[in-house]
Amino acid sequence: SQQGEEDPQALSIQEGENATMNCSYKTSINNLQWYRQNSGRGLVHLILIRSNEREKHSGRLRVTLDTSKKSSSLLITASRAADTASYFCADNAGNNRKLIWGLGTSLAVNP
């Protein structure tokens, strides 16, 4: 089945550093979204970037979209220990509102 690819699978950084994770798809991107999941919890929507947008900011989050490469990146600046979580990208599959999920990046921010 369709699936987004994410890298890295796991990332460990020190507090204050920036974290970058990438997501790519084999098909064209519609509405690329990033979600965060704390261990054993549901997912929280972080940011959505549309296919006609190239960059979007929300607080310490910066998302870019390259439709020609069918890829997106999520940058978390000045990371905090509380940013430790798994981050997933997802894209709308079409009119049925399904999301096609990436494999996720597990981020550990060490104090």
Partner 1 sequence: GAVVSQHPSWVICKSGTSVKIECRSLDFQATTMFWYRQFPKQSLMLMATSNEGSKATYEQGVEKDKFLINHASLTLSTLTVTSAHPEDSSFYICSAPPLAGGPRQNEQFFGPGTRLTVL
What is the nearest approach in angstroms of partner 1 to the Cβ of residue 78?
26
**Which of 95, 98, 102, 96 has the alpha carbon at shortest distance from 37?**
102
What is the nearest approach in angstroms of partner 1 to the Cβ of residue 16?
26
Neighbours of 17 (CB within 10 A): 14
Cα separation, 95 vs 22, whole angstroms: 25
Closer CB to partner 1, residue 97 or residue 111?
97
**Which of 83, 81, 73 has the alpha carbon at shortest distance from 34?**
73
Can you give the binding site for partner 1, defined by CB under 8 A?
Answer: 1, 3, 31, 33, 35, 40-45, 48, 88, 92, 96-99, 101-104, 106
What is the nearest approach in angstroms of partner 1 to the Cβ of residue 72?
14
Closer CB to partner 1, residue 36 or residue 70?
36
Which neighbouring-strand residues pair with 14?
Answer: 110
